[in-house]
Amino acid sequence: MRTLVGLIAVAVVTATGLAYSQAHGLLGGITISRALDSNAPRSSGGAMNILLIGLDSRKDQDGNELPDEILDKLHAGDSEAGGYNTNTLILVHIGADDRVVAFSIPRDDYVAVSGIRGYDHIKIKEAYGLTKFETEQKLTDEGVTDRADLETAGREAGRKATLRAVRNLTGQPIDYFAEVNLAGFYDLAQSLGGVEVCLNHAVHDDYSGADFPAGRQRLDAAQSLSFVRQRHGLGNGDLDRTHRQQAFLLSVMHELQQSGSFTDLDKFKSLMNVARKDIVLSEGWGEDQFRRMAALAGGDVEFRTLPVVRYENINGQDVNIVDPAKIRAEIARAIGGESTTTTTTAAAAQPLPPANPQTSVSVVNASETSGLASQAAALLGKHDYPVAEVRDRESGEPVDTVVTYGPGGRTDAQSVATLLGIDNAPQASSALAADHLRVILGDGYDVPTDQPVTEEAADITTANSWYGMTTSPTPDQGKPIDGGGIPCVN
């Protein structure tokens, strides 16, 4: 959300009534990143996807520590707190008809990764910081000593890792991105002279500094950050915090419209000063991108949060277990597209033939993700498929994800492929004995969850890692209370 509200100052340029040439001059000086690979997949058919990245860093764009007086106002700890986690990730889809759907990606989603030494799974928020650290360490070992060069290279690598993680999770291309840190949020709220919000209940939290009565009220810049950062004392944990972020965004857009920030040149210049100081944009932003993002300022946005299946504690960390196939299908339904995983997901929901007790299954891990074969074997065992062998790939065996079967094993092979979410058609193999199956799991494969996601569960956003929850919090029911353009939230 911090990214999104910061980006508003840039994205609505053509909605201001200013000539584009004039606006273009005002936009000069914004930091441009080249992390988005020009060869990466792009949206088609007139659609556009923009990833908004909110860093929890207490440092500026050059890696310098924020002043103590700013950190005190933010209730954000010292400059080492937060690291370079991307605590806010929002994928904004703008359709060919300019309909906007914004997907909040829970920061603790546990995702498979490659290319980060020592890790096969991480929380998605960690992709940026872990990659930044590894890149800087490698360059230092090679003799690079300039602090600015290390910071730039590290951040670019962190952005690339974050883009890759989001693409892998959502199955969506990313056409543009924008990034901002905590200081950007504070500066924007301050430039607006505060923002009006509405609370259903009074709250008090010493950690974030949130101490507000119920009802509508105007918050200054420091209070605004406390409002969206609070997670202690909220009945639904990060679900409530996500609702606050979305409601606060709507309030900011309402404030921008009501204050005349788009038509008053002096106010607009103030917003642009914030953009130059705190925002990083990918290459390629131009008149069309700004015009289409202007829909956000009109408040005509559908906010969704990607579903979480369950919460677990892994290696001492509370994480969200997610099903990428369900996430991709959810996004496809929301934007009116088609998902390559929809068929598999639907088939998995149908009753499968009972397992043949004579069937024997070998599960082979051909990927770089440790433990993948064991996870798949556990899922098959829940459905009464006898797993005779779990091992790593041997020389000469395929490296791609596939199910092969011996004589008489075709029906079970199809059922196993469906249970494991494997799209490739099972293949007969003369090398296998009768009623024997071999499952080979390649890079990029994720074991699907074995728990159906209900409509209610789809509303649950993320585990509250502060409370160590192991069960789903109760989601809010119904639509946000109408506060005259200012949504009321918990």
Strand order in the sheet with 427-428: 387-392, 360-365, 436-441, 402-405, 427-428
Confidence of residue 374 (pLDDT cuts 50, 70, 90): confident
Contact between residue 368 and residue 442 where contact means Cβ atoms under 8 Å apart = no
Kindly give, in sequence order, each residue whose CB lies less than 8 Å from that of residue 5, ignoring residues fewer than 6 positions away: 185, 188, 189, 248, 249, 252
Question: Residue 90 has what pLDDT?
Answer: 86
Taking the C-alpha atoms of residue 283 and residue 464, their distance in angstroms, rounded to an integer, is 35
Confidence of residue 455 (pLDDT cuts 50, 70, 90): very low
Q: b or e along 46-74 (b: 16 or more beta carbons within 10 Å of the residue's beta carbon)? A: ebbbbbbbbbbbbbbbebeebeeebbebb
Taking the C-alpha atoms of residue 480 and residue 197, their distance in angstroms, rounded to an integer, is 12
Question: Residue 162 has what pLDDT?
Answer: 94
- 216-225, 379-388, 402-411, 445-454: range with lowest mean pLDDT: 445-454
What would the pLDDT profile of 407-431 be if each residue is shown by its tens digit? Answer: 888 888 988 998 888 878 899 998 8
Question: Residue 471 has what pLDDT?
Answer: 35
Query: Structurally, what CATH architecture does the domain formed by 2-340 represent?
Result: 3-Layer(aba) Sandwich (3.40)
Taking the C-alpha atoms of residue 60 and residue 53, their distance in angstroms, rounded to an integer, is 15
Contact between residue 419 and residue 363 where contact means Cβ atoms under 8 Å apart = no
Confidence of residue 451 (pLDDT cuts 50, 70, 90): very low
* Most confident residue range from 284-293, 373-382, 480-489: 373-382
Is 102 or 91 the better-scoring residue by pLDDT?
91
Unique residue bearing structure tokens 């309909």 = 99
Alpha-carbon Rg for the chain in angstroms: 24
Confidence of residue 141 (pLDDT cuts 50, 70, 90): very high
Is 284 or 253 the better-scoring residue by pLDDT?
284
Taking the C-alpha atoms of residue 363 and residue 356, their distance in angstroms, rounded to an integer, is 17
Give the number of other CB atoms < 10 A from CB of residue 42: 14
Question: Residue 340 has what pLDDT?
Answer: 38
Taking the C-alpha atoms of residue 108 and residue 313, their distance in angstroms, rounded to an integer, is 11
Question: Residue 154 has what pLDDT?
Answer: 94
Residue 387: φ, ψ to 5°:
-95, 115
- Segments in 171-218 forming alpha helices (H): 182-191
Secondary-structure class of domain 351-441 per CATH: alpha beta
Contact between residue 32 and residue 177 where contact means Cβ atoms under 8 Å apart = no
Unique residue bearing structure tokens 């994928």 = 91
List every span in the chain annotated with CATH 3.40.630.190: 2-340
Taking the C-alpha atoms of residue 236 and residue 293, their distance in angstroms, rounded to an integer, is 31
Contact between residue 30 and residue 23 where contact means Cβ atoms under 8 Å apart = no
* Residue 63 pLDDT exceeds 80: no
E strands present in 170-290: 176-180, 195-199, 203-205, 210-212, 215-219, 279-282
- Segments in 338-439 forming alpha helices (H): 342-349, 372-382, 410-419
Residue 88: φ, ψ to 5°:
-135, 125
Structure tokens at 27: 């936009």
Provide the percentage of residues in the chain whose pLDDT is more than 70: 68
Question: Residue 197 has what pLDDT?
Answer: 87
List every span in the chain annotated with CATH 3.30.70.2390: 351-441
Unique residue bearing structure tokens 């440092």 = 59
* Residue 394 pLDDT exceeds 50: yes
pTM of the model: 0.65
Is 29 or 178 the better-scoring residue by pLDDT?
178
Contact between residue 374 and residue 439 where contact means Cβ atoms under 8 Å apart = no
Question: Residue 127 has what pLDDT?
Answer: 94
Taking the C-alpha atoms of residue 324 and residue 307, their distance in angstroms, rounded to an integer, is 10
Q: Rounded mean pLDDT of the chain?
A: 74
Question: Residue 182 has what pLDDT?
Answer: 67
Helix axes 410-419, 342-349, angle to 10 degrees: 110
Structure tokens at 86: 């991307």
- 44-53, 61-70, 310-319, 367-376: range with lowest mean pLDDT: 61-70
Taking the C-alpha atoms of residue 252 and residue 3, their distance in angstroms, rounded to an integer, is 12
